[in-house]
């Protein structure tokens, strides 16, 4: 299966990166190489692009797509949370721009074997990095009812989380839950029929929640943002595209904290905590896809782009 993925908010991201032809840029979620291709095509001379992805199939697809720029592109298979160390290993401490396009790619969703989608009946997997040991099957079959409730409620924001967790535990007592189809049926049975008729696909939120837990997506994001801002050269920009309200909240909060890290009480006449601003939030409100983009790519509907610019040294 060909690795196809339509890059969301592509023009807006490239424009906000303010690419310098001889700059160093990082695409932390390389995917099919859509954003990377546009960055690499604008680089000249000493310009460099480092593409990072934990998905082996993405690495293969992007390597082929970016072959034209091979002399200025370095591709690393890793999780973007290890970017700082991965870059230091190739002699890079500071960069001029970083892009993160979060969530799951169209390819991952549409590739039946990967088990990301509730649309196909296949093995319950959902690992973005197939080298990791924990899969969605492990979560569904080993987490306690309370843990499952927490995951589905927090990451899926599903009002029926309690009942879905209860049904999963009840079903697996008879036999392990092996496939996406089995999980689908269990979720369906846990949601009242009248709600199933109106609220979109009944499995959407639970599948999203289990995927986020399986890949530690929010934890990885939260633990990476300060590092990314610190890695930027003065004037360098961090562009992050989110697809989920929890991701967006994490990014918004980290950007705000880095812009104004002062912890002094508001009544203090001057700052004494010594925490200096790392930069400024470029996008006060998130940049959203145009109606035209949403029409051409339905998956872009929930996308939000936020941009941070580094100041100082």
CA 238/CA 67 separation, integer angstroms: 25
Q: What is the DSSP string of 18-39?
A: T--TT-EEEESS-TTSHHHHHH
Burial class (CB in 10 A: 0-12, 13-18, 19+), 154: middle
Measured CA distances, 28 to 31, 35, 50, 98, 154 (Å): 9, 10, 8, 7, 25
The phi, psi pair for 165, rounded to 5°, reads -60, -45
Collapsing DSSP to helix, strand or coil, 232 comes out as: strand
- What pLDDT is attached to residue 228? 98
Tokens of residue 139, six digits:
């979560």
CA 163/CA 159 separation, integer angstroms: 9
- What pLDDT is attached to residue 5? 58
Burial class (CB in 10 A: 0-12, 13-18, 19+), 61: buried
From 304, 282, 300, 284, select the one nearest 16 (Cα to Cα).
Answer: 282
> Are β-strands 95-101 and 232-242 bridged in parallel, bridged antiparallel, or unpaired?
parallel
The b/e string for 113-138 (b: 16+ C-beta within 10 A; e otherwise) is ebbbbbebebebbbbbeeeeeebbbe
Average pLDDT by stretches of 10, the chain with 313 residues: 69 97 97 94 96 93 94 97 97 98 80 87 94 97 98 95 98 97 96 78 93 96 97 98 94 96 90 92 95 91 96 75
CA 104/CA 126 separation, integer angstroms: 10
Distance of CA 245 to the CA centre of its chain: 12
CA 107/CA 6 separation, integer angstroms: 9
Measured CA distances, 195 to 34, 207, 258, 311 (Å): 38, 17, 42, 50
pTM (two decimals): 0.92
The DSSP code for 273 is S
Domains of the chain: 10-107+217-310 (3.40.50.150), 130-214 (1.10.150.170)
Alpha helix segments (H runs only) across the chain: 10-17, 34-40, 56-65, 83-88, 106-110, 136-142, 145-156, 161-174, 180-190, 193-198, 204-214, 217-231, 245-259, 291-296
Q: Which helix (H) or strand (E) holds 239?
A: strand 232-242
- What pLDDT is attached to residue 209? 96
């Amino acid at each position: 299966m060909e690795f196809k993925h339509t890059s969301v908010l592509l023009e807006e991201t490239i424009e906000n990166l303010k690419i310098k032809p001889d700059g160093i840029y990082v695409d932390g979620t390389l995917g099919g190489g859509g954003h990377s291709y546009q960055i690499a095509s604008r680089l000249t001379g000493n310009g460099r692009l480092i593409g990072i992805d934990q998905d082996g199939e993405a690495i293969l697809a992007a390597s082929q797509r970016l072959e034209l720029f091979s002399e200025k592109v370095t591709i690393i298979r890793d999780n973007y949370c290890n970017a700082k160390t991965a870059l230091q290993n190739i002699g890079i401490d500071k960069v001029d721009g970083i892009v993160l396009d979060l969530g799951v790619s169209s390819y991952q969703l549409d590739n039946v074997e990967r088990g990301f989608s509730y649309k196909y009946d296949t093995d319950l997997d959902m690992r973005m990095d197939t080298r990791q040991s924990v899969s969605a099957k492990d979560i569904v079959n080993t987490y306690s009812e309370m843990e499952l409730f927490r995951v589905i409620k927090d990451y899926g924001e599903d009002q029926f989380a309690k009942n879905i967790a209860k049904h999963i535990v009840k079903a697996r007592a008879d036999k392990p839950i092996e496939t996406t189809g089995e999980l689908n049926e269990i979720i369906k049975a846990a949601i009242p029929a009248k709600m199933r008729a109106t609220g979109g696909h009944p499995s959407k939120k639970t599948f999203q929640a289990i995927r986020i837990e399986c890949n530690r997506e929010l934890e990885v994001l939260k633990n990476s943002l300060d590092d990314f801002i610190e890695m930027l050269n003065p004037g360098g920009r961090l562009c992050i595209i989110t697809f989920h309200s929890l991701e967006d909240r994490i990014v918004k909060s980290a950007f705000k904290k880095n812009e104004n890290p002062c912890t002094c009480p508001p009544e203090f006449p001057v700052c004494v905590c010594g925490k200096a601003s790392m930069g400024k939030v470029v996008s006060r409100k998130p940049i959203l896809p145009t109606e035209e983009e949403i029409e051409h790519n339905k998956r872009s509907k929930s996308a939000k782009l936020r941009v941070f610019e580094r100041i100082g040294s």
